[in-house]
Amino acid sequence: MKTLYLALVLAPLAGSIIAGLFRNQIGKAGAHWAAILGVGVSFVLSAYVFWLHAFQGAPVFNENIYTWMVVDGLQLHVGFLVDNLTAMMITVVTFVSLMVHIYTIGYMAHEEGYQRFFSYIALFTFSMLMLVMANNFLQLFFGWEAVGLVSYLLIGFYFKRETAIFANMKAFLVNRVGDFGFILGIAAVAMYFGSLDYTQVFDAAPGKAGETINILGSSQWSLMTVICILLFIGAMGKSAQMPLHVWLPDSMEGPTPISALIHAATMVTAGIFMVARMSPLYELSETALSFVLVIGATTAFFMGVIGIVQNDIKRVIAYSTLSQLGYMIAALGASAYAAGLFHLMTHAFFKALLFLAAGSVIIGMHHDQDIRNMGGVRKYMKITWFTFLLGTLALIGFPGFSGFFSKDAIIEAVGESQILGSGYAHWLLVAGVFVTALYSFRLYFIVFHGKGPRDEHAKEHIKESPAVVTVPLILLAIPSVIIGWMTIEPMLFGDYFKGVLHVASAHDTLGEMGEHYHNQIGFVSHGVMALPFWLAMGGLAVAFYVYMIKPEIARNLAIRFDWLYGLLVRKYGFDELYQAVFAKGSLLLGKGLWVVGDRTLIDGIAVNGSARSVGVLAQTLRWLQSGYLYHYAVAMILGLLGLVYWFVIR
């Protein structure tokens, strides 16, 4: 099995290396075939691993591949942990990545840097696989930083655009903030547990539950709370939770395929996966769980509201991603880890579908991304329209679609939770259902059923995308519709995650829900009678009435509530705040250090000061070295008199 897992991980890396280093020799076709074959091999092997674990009861694989370093008894390994959670993650990651690779052939056909792009996305897949298959914190951190690096390269793919360079630098800096907390958490684990191996840390964790540490002053802090919150700060950066969310919407500067890969199955899900994997630690700190719960619910609602006022087709979906990540995080905070992971899986399919379908629309509109210039696209792009509709229905949680099962499970689990902040979180998540339906169908109606492009001549040039673009849409639409129906029972109420996720009996809301679960039909019947379903239908109806029947209502509301509209357009002022406080503050700090440190201390004292001192000394010595014999004679006589006085007369 070790050979199989190595092949699974290294196949995308091989494809990336071939596409990148030998791009001139193999050309465009060679590059995309190398990357696609690498990821395709990885997907086939991942599906086989999933089949073994889900249906054949394969044992957990936990072995070190090699020892990288031993430092004062701390062993640092590279190894794999493959259980049911890993099997699910690698299958989702490789399937979505494979669809994105195929789609990219059509989307990037006329772009510069074609081979470079394929090299990057294959490397992205390798990095994510290393992350989710890790059996220790060191390898987790390697994968964590690797996906961050590749996302930086991909967001700034159009490196000649100033906006793209700004966006990738923003993503890099914001994630450094989160990663600073993350590495402090890992350092705390190494310091107090003496190991970075998952199994050893998890086994020792209950014995550390009551331990405290001193950080500032004389106050004592719970060790587990500190570790869990520090680790979660890393997740806030990677999974774009408030206030470290600002980089994700700007990541739309990258090509559309990478938007789907970052937002659906790879980078942003790393934080969700990490918290779920660390469930044995988080269950020992209700404070940390409460913190996670409140942050997730706040992000879910307030980021979704911003999506209502966005006019860039990709940014609407980007804010949807922020909101849906908030739902997943809230589930983790309520100890409903299985529900969060279940939504991660379903969301990966329908969000990748929505992004790729949006990219298809962008191709049809000749790379115009402003939805105000779209409309009536349904008549010209039937496959794109239908698949986009299926993805939208899954996103809003329409009964029977995958998003319905996962989102309803999260809302109910949070509502049943007794963790501090669960009441606040529950109502924000419920309200978020209306918001999700409103911005989703606003986008859908304007793009596909509006009055048409402002330039009537453009209609003649809109046509369906080629098969290399539409086939991935169809393949992603299938799980977007049925995967929730197929997997809800084993993942939420069965034993699929047994022995993988650890939930304290006092926090087991999914266990309580499972006592009332009978089958999928019963779950749907219960869901259509609950408030979230009617809120979703209300959001759909409002979107239809406001944006299709009475579009002037939206304009009048924007004028009447211009303060609120302006606040949402400015994204609550986070960008301005960070620009004023951190960006300008950093510039002022740098300028101050330059004036005091470089110009005054280094140039003024160390460099120029030394030079001036030498000059003064030389000038003085030069005065003494006159060249006249009588000057030297006088100096010798004065010196002799001085010595006589010092040694004889005194």
For residue 561, how many other CB atoms are within 10 A of its CB?
A: 12
Instruction: Give the CA angle between residues 639, 641, 646 to the nearest 5°.
Output: 95
Place of tokens 């949807």: 320
Phi and psi, residue 500, nearest 5° = -105, -50
120-147: pLDDT as tens digits: 999 999 999 999 999 999 999 999 999 8
pLDDT in the model for residue 455: 53
Read off φ and ψ for residue 218, nearest 5 degrees: -105, 0
Q: What is the pLDDT of residues 233-262, one digit of tens each?
A: 999 988 889 888 888 888 888 888 888 888
Closest CA to 483 of 383, 352, 362: 352
| Cα–Cα distance for residue pair 395/34, rounded to 1 Å | 33
Confidence of residue 333 (pLDDT cuts 50, 70, 90): very high
Model pLDDT for residues 2-39, shown as the tens digit of each residue: 889 999 999 999 999 999 888 888 888 898 999 999 99
pLDDT for 624: 67
3-state secondary structure 18-61: HHHHCHHHHHHHHHHHHHHHHHHHHHHHHHHHHHHHHHCCCCCE
Quick check: bond before 472 cis, omega within 30?
Answer: no
Q: Are 164 and 144 in contact (CB under 8 A)?
A: no
Rg of the chain taking only CA atoms, in angstroms: 30
CB 206 within 8 A of CB 283: no
Tell me the pLDDT tens digit for each residue of 77-92: 889 999 999 999 999 9
The 10 Å CB-count burial string (b at 16+, else e) for 477-516 is bebbbebbbebbbebbbeebbeebbbbeeebebbeebeee
Residue type, position 378, single letter: R
State residue 456's pLDDT score. Answer: 56
Provide CB contacts within 8 A for 40, sequence distance 6+. Answer: 98
DSSP bridge partners of 221: 213
pLDDT tens digits, 430-449: 999 999 999 999 999 999 98
Mean pLDDT of the chain: 87
pTM attached to this predicted model: 0.88
Q: CA-CA distance, 165 to 167, in Å (whole number)?
A: 5
3-state secondary structure (DSSP) of residue 70: strand
537 contacts 543 by C-beta, under 8 angstroms: no
- Structure tokens belonging to residue 635: 């100096």
Distance CA 417, CA 216 (A): 32
pLDDT of residue 305: 93
Lowest mean pLDDT among 284-288, 526-530, 611-615: 611-615
